[in-house]
Amino acid sequence: MIFKMNRIMKRVLLILTALLPMVVLAQPPMWTQEIYREQNYPSRNWYTGFVRDKLKAGEDVGKALKSLERDAQNQLAESIIVTIEGNTSVDNRSVQYQSGKNREEVITTQYQQAVKTATTATTVKTEVKSYHDQSTGALYAFAAVKRTDLAAFYTKQIDVDLNKVETAIEVSEQLVAAGKKMSAKRKIDDAKKILEGVAFNRDLLVAVNADTDESDLQTVRFNNLQRTVEQLLIKLEQSTFVYMDCSYEFKGYKHDAFSSDPGIFCDILAQVLSENECSVTTNKDEADYELTIITSTTQRSDGKGEYGILSYYANVKGTLYNKLTQKKTADFSILNDPDAYSAGKTPEDAATKAFKLPELRKKVLEKILPKIKD
C-alpha cells in the first residue's frame, strides 16, 4: 500500500515538474511593468511608446499584435513631436470588456492627429516588442529608441537632404539654360519641400539632443539654401513667356459666323495659359514660345428643316514654336469636331458658345501645354 502511494506521489511530482516551465513562461514579460520600463528605459536616454489593449472575439492574434506595435511606435514618435509642438491631440478612451462575470477596463489611446515623423522615428534602431497574455486576453506592445541613435540619424538626414537641395538647384539652372523654365520651377518647388522637412528635422535634433550646436544643425548652409530657393521661385514664377499671334480665317458664304475676328478663343487661351504659370507677352523678342492660332467657323445646321436648329462648329488650328531650339514643337488642327459645336439664335450666338466650350479649350491645351511644361 505504501509502495503504491509512493508511485502515485512520484507521478504527481513528475507532472508538476513538467508543467513548471509552462507556468513560468505564461508570466507576462518584465517590460509590461511600468517600474521595469522606468528603470531600464529612463526618459533621459530613451523615447518609448507603450500600448495595451484587449483581444476582441474572433480577432487574429498576430494581426492584433502587429497593429498594437504600430500604435506603440506612433506613440513613441508622438512623444518627440509633443516636445516640439506641444499641441498634439490625444484622446484617451475608456473601453470596458466582459470576461465571464467580471468586467475589465482598458485604457486605449487613439491619436487624432497623424504623427508626421512616425516612420522616421521608428526606423532608427528601434526595439519593438509585443505580447499576448492568453489567460486574460490582454495585448501589450512596447517600442523604444535611444536618444543618441535618433540624434545621429537626424544629423545625417539633415546633411543628406541639404545635398538634395543643392543638386535640385544645379539641375534647375541647367533646365533654365535649356529653355525648360517650368521644369526648372518644379525642381525648385521640390527643393522647397525638402527644406521644409529639413527644418522639421532640425527641430527634432534639438529636441532629442539639448547639446546640439549650430554646426550640427548646419544653420548657415540651411539659411543660404533657403534664401536661394526663395529667390529662384520669385524669378521663375510666370517666367515662361508666350507670344500669341491670333487671326480669323474667312471661309466664305454661310460658314462665316463673324464678319471680323471676334478674338473669343485667343482671350480664353491667354487666360488659361496665365493660370498654368505662363506669361502672355506682346513683345515677340522676349518670348520663349510663339503660339500661332487661326480660328474659323463651319455651319453645322442652317436652322431650317424639321427641327429648325441653327448650329456652328468652332475650328482652331495652330503651331507652337520654341524660340530657343528654333523648332516647331506642336502642330494641330481641330476642324468640325463633334465636341466643338453649339446651337444658337444667330450664327454669332452659336459660334460664340462653341468657342467657349471647355472641351475645345482642353483639346488645344493638350497639344501645347506638355510641350511648354517639358
Query: Tens of pLDDT along 130-173?
Result: 999 999 999 999 999 999 998 999 999 999 999 999 999 999 99
Res 232: pLDDT: 94
Of 1-5, 52-56, 65-69, which range is least confident?
1-5
* Radius of gyration in angstroms for the set of CA atoms belonging to the chain, rounded to a whole number: 36
Greatest pairwise CA separation for the chain in angstroms:
129
Instruction: Report the distance separating Cα 189 and Cα 181, nearest Å.
Output: 12
Angle between helix 358-373 and helix 181-208 axes, rounded to 10 deg: 70
Q: Judging by beta carbons within 10 Å of its beta carbon (0-12, 13-18, 19+), is residue 7 exposed, middle or buried?
A: exposed
Give me the long-range contacts of 144-148 (CB less than 8 A, separation at least 24): 144/41, 144/46, 144/47, 144/48, 144/49, 144/76, 145/46, 145/47, 145/76, 145/121, 146/45, 146/46, 147/44, 147/45, 147/46, 147/47, 147/208, 147/209, 148/45, 148/209
Whether pLDDT at 217 is above 50: yes
Average pLDDT over residues 313-326: 94
Percentage of residues of the chain with pLDDT beyond 90: 63
Whether pLDDT at 4 is above 60: no
Instruction: Report the distance separating Cα 81 and Cα 203, nearest Å.
Output: 9
Superfamily grouping for domain 240-373: ABC-type transport auxiliary lipoprotein component (3.40.50.10610)
Residues 6+ apart with CB under 8 A from 135: 26
Residues 6+ apart with CB under 8 A from 72: 49, 50, 51, 128, 130, 141, 142, 143
Tell me how far CA of residue 25 lies from CA of 68, 128, 134, in angstroms: 21, 20, 11
pLDDT tens digits for 336-352? 999 999 999 999 999 99
pLDDT tens digits for 171-188? 999 999 988 898 999 999
Res 84: pLDDT: 62
Split at pLDDT 50, 70, 90, the class of 15 is low
Count, residues in the chain: 374
pLDDT tens digits for 219-257? 999 999 999 999 999 999 888 999 999 999 998 878 999
Whether pLDDT at 52 is above 90: yes
Average pLDDT over residues 266-285: 93
The grid coordinates of residue 101 equal 462575470
Of 19-33, 113-127, 265-279, which range is least confident?
113-127
Q: Judging by beta carbons within 10 Å of its beta carbon (0-12, 13-18, 19+), is residue 70 exposed, middle or buried?
A: middle
List every span in the chain annotated with CATH 3.40.50.10610: 240-373
Q: Count CA atoms within 13 Å of residue 189 on its CB side.
A: 8
User: What is the pLDDT of the chain when averaged over all its residues?
Assistant: 84
Q: What is the CATH topology of the domain spanning 26-147?
A: Thiol Ester Dehydrase; Chain A (3.10.129)
List every span in the chain annotated with CATH 3.10.129: 26-147
